[in-house]
């Protein structure tokens, strides 16, 4: 460390950092410096990867002054900052985003041209950091983008997985996973800070002692320790000179070798501890919505929150701040239950390490956390068996027990004599094994609990946490999810952005409600034509990409019908597939004349959790249907099914702007919010959807005439379940459904092999937990409405424009405003 005397006597050490000149020449000079002195190559000898790395580092150096300045400003001005705790950040590519934020796109393009470099090739060189599974991780990335754009202090805390979400390939129609080695060619966007490493303990035991005045003190003696090394990422606001920080933790061994063993000559054995430690941040768990309850997963969770709390308290919070003021300095937002072990960790720090008495520590802790729940599926609510938790974190388990004891006293106080309620509300479940219910712990500890869409928050109050709602109604609130307009409109859909900019100016980029000004243009024939031209050009762009990326041909003049999201039964990819097969079967059987089939391309994108057998069978079925339908001359090219492998943020940015129809067809009450639904609507696709998650709010805003609604409501679903749902009765009663299922069952799509699809069909006919068969009739009817509407291009365009104009609400800037007003800084508003 530099001493203060050095700093004080050297202007150079303390003065502002200057950026390279914002000119094409300045950019070229910085780029060549990065290439020569950073990569150690001359331009003439450089590879595309050298050039990409140098370009990234060039953009970085333009953002650096703002980053340092933002940090300086934040340190001078003590306010409550947001510590977003998330096990996932699905960032997507950084280059385009950071060029956009720093307003360097034009300069960079020209500079690369001057150097004779194809900028598009450099963009294509970036491997996206896929440090998340789906919506939950992408939401975290949108939120930190919005907070930077709003100049709100935030540190995003998470895990720097060495391997992100697996790369999906198909082998004979079946999903095969490959490791995502995203760091292999270098990662120019991260800044390792080994000097800021912190220690994290695991295992061991606790010791209790009594001091002179008879007070008990407990101390945790961990059995082993790992080092958490932070890697910092820039989170630039949109052209506002703000750069916040994302701090991702990587696990390292304290010592590469066990020295005794090393000296004894057993070199392989001597590196065991290193392998053990580094395993912790090795790979992202690829389960979306259904956590597996594996020990390594709990290690990951504790690892990153322990690092984050330690880092904040010891390295970010100024030394002179009294910890009683912690709630004035930080609010930790718990992104689902994954980081909830932070609650007993903060209690442990305050009580065991800092000497607070229990009640005071609990009072502080309760003000420092808020909890967001992202699901309703009971199997998705995390529980940790007490034996596992006690083995890994013995002190934390003791603390959880004490929190529970005191909480249950409160319950007995509020509801005397109601022991059933006490059992129901206990943080410790007794059946099927003793386990800690993390959602309950989060609800008890959190100052606020929120769901992610209106319907979801209501179901949370009514069905998931009703007893807690009865006890603390004011704790519960809603914040509907949002998406960042920078990445998902400006960057992804440059053509539409240009049209919007020309029409209403650029204010929408940071104030998305301004899109309302587009409403009158829905009635302007010239504008509608230009809107269609944009869509057409986006389809062409996608078509080119898919040709190169996947070797598939997208028919240009088809209705592009898109269902992209994780593969999960509740999302009902099978319902979409039944629709596809019914169209095909109609033609095959002669029920539908071929010239009455609306030319349509159905595009799927979906990864299945590697251990989710049914989901993988559904992928195989989709690929089987695609192969048959695409090559059967009977369809005359009018129906095409595409399933490009490895759907990710990068592909989403090309697919969404090209889509005509957005499939949001989960069974009502199952999709907490959805965020893809918002991205499509904002890019001028119309939604066919159920009354689920944020679809409800989209429908409300765009109006029934501009949305294809179908299916049961959540109460209707419940009622049908109560009455006793018999899927086969729908099969028997609907001849089209019967013919559709029979065609699949005949082996038509699997080369005559009936067994190959029987798992999916048996499940549909005999269980159908998400009522795809019950939804089939109304879904087909809604698809008829889609086709009639699509046949009138002017009316269709009008609707799509109104969708864009009316979806400004779904900006993640608005979500962040709501979090600030309702959760983070209530009373400041």
Select 673 or 803, whichever has its Cβ closest to ligand 73E: 673
DSSP label at 91? -
Closest distance to ligand 73E from the beta carbon of 737 (Å):
28
Binding ligand 73E (rule: CB under 6 A), the pick from 180, 288, 561, 663 is 288
| 670 included as an active-site residue | no
Q: Which two tokens stand for residue 693?
A: 């998650």
| 294 included as an active-site residue | no
Could you give the CA distance from residue 231 to residue 195 in angstroms, rounded to a whole number?
A: 11
Closest distance to ligand 73E from the beta carbon of 581 (Å):
27
Binding ligand 73E (rule: CB under 6 A), the pick from 291, 344, 394, 727 is 291
One character per residue 315-344, x = contact with ligand 73E (rule: CB under 6 A): ---------------------x--------
Select 312 or 476, whichever has its Cβ closest to ligand 73E: 476
One character per residue 665-684, x = contact with ligand 73E (rule: CB under 6 A): ------xxxxx---------
Torsion angles phi and psi, residue 777, rounded to 5: -60, -50
Name the residue among 129, 134, 108 with its Cα closest to residue 51: 108
One character per residue 243-282, x = contact with ligand 73E (rule: CB under 6 A): ----------------------------------------
DSSP label at 483? B
Select 380 or 655, whichever has its Cβ closest to ligand 73E: 380
Q: Which helix (H) or strand (E) holds 605?
A: strand 600-605
Name the residue among 484, 461, 454 with its Cα closest to residue 695: 454
Select 285 or 776, whichever has its Cβ closest to ligand 73E: 285
Q: Which stretch binds ligand 73E (CB under 6 A): 110-118, 243-251, 287-295, 388-396?
A: 287-295
Binding ligand 73E (rule: CB under 6 A), the pick from 69, 287, 632, 818 is 287
Select 100 or 284, whichever has its Cβ closest to ligand 73E: 284
Closest distance to ligand 73E from the beta carbon of 375 (Å):
4
Could you give the CA distance from residue 730 to residue 773 in angstroms, rounded to a whole number?
A: 6
One character per residue 123-162, x = contact with ligand 73E (rule: CB under 6 A): ----------x-xx--x-----------------------
Read out DSSP for 167-229?
EEEEETTEEEEE---TTTT--TTEEE-GGG-EEEEES-EEEEEE-TTS-EEEEEE-SEEEEEE
Select 59 or 136, whichever has its Cβ closest to ligand 73E: 136
Position 481 contacts ligand 73E (CB under 6 A): yes
Could you give the CA distance from residue 65 to residue 30 in angstroms, rounded to a whole number?
A: 15
Catalytic residue among 374, 448, 475, 600: 374
Angle in degrees, CA 186, 192, 196, rounded to 5: 170
Closest distance to ligand 73E from the beta carbon of 372 (Å):
8
Residue 28's contacts (CB-CB under 8 Å, 6 or more residues apart) are 111, 114, 115
Select 543 or 673, whichever has its Cβ closest to ligand 73E: 673
CA distances from 186 to 40, 125, 189, 338, 662 (A): 14, 11, 9, 29, 36
Select 122 or 682, whichever has its Cβ closest to ligand 73E: 682
Is 53 within 8 Å of 39 (Cβ atoms)?
yes
SS3 709: strand
Q: Which stretch binds ligand 73E (CB under 6 A): 193-201, 372-380, 466-474, 727-735?
A: 372-380
Could you give the CA distance from residue 817 to residue 810 in angstroms, rounded to a whole number?
A: 12
Torsion angles phi and psi, residue 356, rounded to 5: -70, 150
Closest distance to ligand 73E from the beta carbon of 420 (Å):
29
Position 20 contacts ligand 73E (CB under 6 A): no
| 576 included as an active-site residue | no
| Helix segments in 454-608, DSSP class H | 454-459, 466-471, 485, 494-504, 525-550, 573-588
Q: Which two tokens stand for residue 267?
A: 């070199």
Catalytic residue among 247, 565, 568, 670: 565
Helix, strand, coil share of the chain (percent; to 5): 55, 15, 30
| 566 included as an active-site residue | yes
Closest distance to ligand 73E from the beta carbon of 694 (Å):
7
* Number of amino acids touching ligand 73E (CB under 6 A): 20
The answer to whether the bond into 432 is cis (omega within 30° of 0) is yes
Select 291 or 485, whichever has its Cβ closest to ligand 73E: 291
Position 375 contacts ligand 73E (CB under 6 A): yes
Sheet holding 435-437, edge to edge: 383-385, 435-437, 428-429
| 169 included as an active-site residue | no
One character per residue 60-89, x = contact with ligand 73E (rule: CB under 6 A): ------------------------------
Name the residue among 136, 59, 43 with its Cα closest to residue 93: 59
Position 693 contacts ligand 73E (CB under 6 A): yes
Read out DSSP for 440-451?
HHHHHH-S-EEE
Could you give the CA distance from residue 35 to residue 287 in angstroms, rounded to a whole number?
A: 40
Is 673 within 8 Å of 627 (Cβ atoms)?
no
DSSP label at 325? G
Select 133 or 687, whichever has its Cβ closest to ligand 73E: 133
Q: Which two tokens stand for residue 576?
A: 């979409």
Could you give the CA distance from residue 545 to residue 315 in angstroms, rounded to a whole number?
A: 46
Closest distance to ligand 73E from the beta carbon of 565 (Å):
9
Catalytic residue among 484, 510, 675, 750: 675
Catalytic residue among 57, 558, 566, 654: 566
Could you give the CA distance from residue 87 to residue 568 in angstroms, rounded to a whole number?
A: 21
Q: For residues 737-796, which are near ligand 73E according to CB under 6 A? A: none
Closest distance to ligand 73E from the beta carbon of 450 (Å):
10
Position 301 contacts ligand 73E (CB under 6 A): no
Closest distance to ligand 73E from the beta carbon of 770 (Å):
14
Name the residue among 295, 369, 296 with its Cα closest to residue 337: 369
Position 374 contacts ligand 73E (CB under 6 A): yes
Select 79 or 292, whichever has its Cβ closest to ligand 73E: 292
Could you give the CA distance from residue 165 to residue 87 in angstroms, rounded to a whole number?
A: 13
Position 646 contacts ligand 73E (CB under 6 A): no
Closest distance to ligand 73E from the beta carbon of 693 (Å):
6
Binding ligand 73E (rule: CB under 6 A), the pick from 452, 641, 682, 760 is 452
Residues constituting the chain: 829
Select 283 or 500, whichever has its Cβ closest to ligand 73E: 283
Closest distance to ligand 73E from the beta carbon of 153 (Å):
23
Q: Which stretch binds ligand 73E (CB under 6 A): 19-27, 283-291, 425-433, 509-517?
A: 283-291
| 374 included as an active-site residue | yes
Could you give the CA distance from residue 628 to residue 626 in angstroms, rounded to a whole number?
A: 6
Position 445 contacts ligand 73E (CB under 6 A): no
Catalytic residue among 348, 448, 571, 600: 571
Q: Which residues are catalytic?
A: 374, 565-566, 571, 675, 679
**Residues contributing to the site for ligand 73E (CB under 6 A):** 133, 135-136, 139, 287-289, 291, 336, 374-375, 380, 452, 481, 671-675, 693
């Amino acid at each position: 460390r530099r001493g203060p005397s050095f700093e004080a006597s050297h202007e150079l050490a303390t003065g502002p950092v200057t950026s390279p000149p914002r000119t094409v020449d300045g950019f070229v000079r910085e780029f060549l410096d990065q290439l020569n002195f950073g990569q150690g190559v001359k331009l003439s000898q450089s590879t595309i990867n050298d050039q990409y790395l140098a370009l990234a580092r060039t953009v970085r150096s333009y953002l650096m002054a703002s980053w340092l300045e933002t940090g300086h400003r934040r340190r001078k001005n003590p306010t409550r900052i947001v510590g977003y705790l998330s096990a996932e950040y699905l960032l997507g590519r950084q280059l385009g985003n950071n060029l956009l934020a720093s307003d360097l796109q034009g300069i960079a393009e020209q500079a690369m041209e001057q150097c004779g470099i194809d900028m598009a090739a450099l963009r294509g060189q970036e491997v996206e950091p896929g440090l998340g599974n789906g919506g939950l991780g992408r939401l975290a990335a949108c939120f930190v983008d919005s907070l930077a754009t709003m100049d709100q202090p935030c540190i995003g805390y998470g895990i720097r997985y060495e391997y992100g979400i697996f790369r999906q390939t198909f082998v004979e129609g079946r999903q095969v996973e490959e490791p995502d080695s995203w760091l292999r060619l270098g990662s120019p966007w991260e800044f390792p800070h080994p000097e800021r490493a912190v220690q994290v303990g695991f295992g061991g035991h606790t010791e209790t002692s009594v001091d002179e005045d008879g007070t008990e003190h407990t101390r945790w003696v961990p059995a082993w320790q790992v080092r958490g090394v932070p890697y910092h990422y820039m989170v630039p606001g949109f052209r506002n000179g703000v750069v916040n920080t994302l701090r991702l933790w990587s696990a390292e061994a304290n010592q590469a070798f066990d020295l005794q063993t090393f000296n004894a000559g057993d070199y392989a054995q001597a590196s065991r501890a290193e392998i053990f430690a580094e395993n912790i941040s090795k790979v992202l768990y690829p389960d979306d919505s259904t956590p597996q309850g594996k020990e390594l997963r709990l290690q990951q969770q504790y690892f990153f929150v322990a690092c984050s709390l330690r880092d904040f308290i010891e390295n970010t919070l100024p030394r002179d701040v009294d910890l009683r003021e912690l709630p004035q300095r930080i609010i930790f937002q718990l992104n689902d239950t994954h980081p909830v072990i932070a609650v007993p960790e903060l209690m442990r720090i305050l009580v065991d390490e800092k000497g607070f008495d229990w009640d005071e520590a609990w009072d502080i802790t309760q003000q420092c956390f808020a909890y967001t729940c992202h699901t309703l599926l009971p199997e998705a609510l995390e529980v940790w068996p007490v034996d596992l938790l006690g083995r890994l974190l013995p002190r934390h388990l003791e603390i959880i027990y004490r929190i529970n004891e005191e909480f249950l006293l409160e319950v007995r106080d509020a509801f005397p004599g109601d022991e059933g309620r006490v059992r129901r509300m206990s943080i410790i479940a007794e059946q099927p094994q003793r386990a800690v219910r993390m959602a309950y712990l989060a609800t008890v500890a959190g100052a606020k609990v929120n769901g992610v869409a209106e319907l979801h928050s209501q179901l949370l109050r009514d069905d998931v946490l009703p007893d807690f709602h009865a006890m603390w109604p004011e704790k519960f609130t809603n914040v509907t999810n949002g998406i960042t307009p920078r990445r998902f409109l400006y960057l992804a859909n440059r053509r539409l952005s240009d049209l919007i900019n020309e029409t209403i100016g650029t204010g929408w980029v940071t104030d998305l409600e301004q899109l309302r000004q587009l409403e009158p243009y829905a009635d302007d024939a010239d504008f509608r034509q230009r809107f269609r031209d944009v869509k057409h050009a986006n389809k062409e762009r996608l078509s080119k990409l898919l040709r190169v990326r996947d070797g598939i041909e997208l028919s240009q003049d088809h209705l592009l019908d898109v269902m992209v999201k994780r593969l999960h039964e509740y999302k009902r990819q099978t319902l979409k597939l039944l629709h596809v097969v019914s169209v095909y079967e109609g033609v095959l059987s002669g029920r539908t004349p071929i010239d009455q089939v609306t030319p349509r391309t159905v595009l799927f994108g979906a990864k299945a959790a590697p251990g989710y057998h049914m989901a993988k069978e559904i992928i195989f079925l989709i690929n089987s249907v695609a192969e048959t339908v695409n090559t059967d001359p009977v369809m005359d090219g009018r129906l095409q099914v595409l399933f490009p492998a490895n759907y990710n943020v990068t592909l989403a940015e090309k697919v969404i702007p090209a889509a005509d129809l957005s499939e949001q067809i989960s069974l009502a009450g199952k999709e907490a919010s959805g965020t893809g639904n918002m991205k499509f609507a904002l890019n001028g696709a119309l939604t066919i959807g159920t009354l689920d998650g944020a679809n409800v709010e989209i429908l409300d805003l765009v109006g029934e005439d501009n949305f294809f609604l179908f299916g049961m409501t959540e109460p209707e679903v419940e009622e049908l379940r109560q009455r006793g749902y018999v899927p086969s009765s729908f099969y028997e009663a609907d001849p089209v459904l019967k013919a559709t299922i029979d065609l699949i069952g005949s082996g038509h799509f699997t080369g005559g092999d009936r067994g190959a699809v029987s798992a999916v069909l048996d499940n549909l006919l005999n269980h159908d937990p998400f009522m795809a068969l019950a939804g089939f009739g109304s879904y087909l009817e809604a698809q008829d409405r889609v086709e009639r509407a699509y046949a009138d291009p002017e009316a269709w365009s009008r609707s799509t424009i109104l969708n864009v104009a009316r979806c400004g609400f779904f900006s993640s800037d608005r979500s962040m405003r709501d979090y600030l007003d309702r959760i983070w800084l209530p009373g400041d508003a």
